Structure 1
């Protein structure tokens, strides 16, 4: 069973630090496409339970889509942002990640009293927060953010597959699979590829020579 609206969120709420937002990203390890970050605040108590919710990596695509719709229907607030590939190159992936998470939290229609992020803490927020190891498997609000970020990014990559046919974006979603590398070697980098990644840079050198 996945995380429920308990544990850290409940403790922080009892301490007067609610509402608690969770934030997470998708696409950090991809070499093509945007980085997408999401933030979510769930309702307290039974109203905040999202059936089937879990860390997005543990869910099938169909289960993620179901959870995504339930989160949008039942969450107190949800927001997401995307950082394009070229901005990821300019900022560096760690800074792009932090900025994306920060922007997603800032877009929430409800101001959180506390923010839990998956893994590392996010600085520059206007409220306290902490980074929690495996937060997406422990905190319901972080799990919700992970599902939203993953579903939004997957939909973007499917749309990019229509715009840039041949790379297989709808299949591998921009991650460095053998299939993706084969297409990258054949076609060269697209405008959606991150040139700061070594495999993409190597392909760019070959196709520019």
Structure 2
């Protein structure tokens, strides 16, 4: 049972009391983007005062500067961290829901310490060989899922800033591949590039501009 008022580590503590530690959390970034990879991350945290991550929260609730600080703490203090990228063409082939599930599964299986229980944000993930729970808004209520959300977001943002150098016409450093007014303007002006997801209607409609 999750005891009210126990904070963001409540799920992990309840599962540890039930003999189900270590607990891994998993989340993704980039599901709603129309360009760039989907990045999934998995994290096992240590719930001790010295290794507790200060200011840990859902990545969407943190400023870019705060995410970078929390990311550094997670990487330094977590028991295990893993992440994977699902490339745009695979996202197109699988569909975004299946790409999401496969990305989360791959990240969890890549952890160098096996989990005894898994918490995921929103969607259940099978094929792990251990029990798990899909938690609604898990990145806001479970520490390990929040940590995974930060790792996925920061990692993907860095990837997209790198793509801004390769594809300077699209301003990927600004919108990170999500569907914004600026991105749509550039997409319509220059046509899709290699990292766009062509299964998305706005990308498919964009005129391909000859070099």
Q: TM-score, normalised by structure 1?
A: 0.95
Residue 129 of structure 1 and its aligned partner are, at CA, apart by: 0.5
Question: What aligned pairs does 1:148-159 form with structure 2 within 5 A after superposition?
Answer: 148-159=151-162
Aligned to 1:90: 93
Q: Deviations over 1:115-157 (max 9, x none)?
A: 0000111111121101000110001000000000000000000
> In 2 relative to 1, CA 207–5 (structure 1 residues): closer, same or farther, beyond 3 Å?
closer
- Partners in 1 of 2:55 and 2:47 — Cα distance? 17
Q: Deviations over 1:82-123 (max 9, x none)?
A: 001011001111110000000000010110000000011111
Moved over 6 A (4+): none
Which consecutive unaligned segments of at least 5 residues does structure 1 have? Answer: none
Indicate which of 27, 39, 53 corresponds to 2:56.
Answer: 53
Question: What aligned pairs does 1:117-128 form with structure 2 within 5 A after superposition?
Answer: 117-128=120-131
Aligned to 2:13: 10
Aligned to 1:162: 165
- Partners in 2 of 1:207 and 1:158 — Cα distance? 23
Assess if the C-alpha contact under 8 Å between 1:117 and 1:132 holds in 2. Answer: yes
Q: Deviations over 1:7-41 (max 9, x none)?
A: 11111111111100000000000000000000000
RMSD: 1.4
Assess if the C-alpha contact under 8 Å between 1:119 and 1:132 holds in 2. Answer: yes
Which consecutive unaligned segments of at least 5 residues does structure 2 have? Answer: 1-5
Q: TM-score, normalised by structure 2?
A: 0.94
Question: What aligned pairs does 1:12-51 form with structure 2 within 5 A after superposition?
Answer: 12-51=15-54
- Partners in 2 of 1:19 and 1:142 — Cα distance? 13
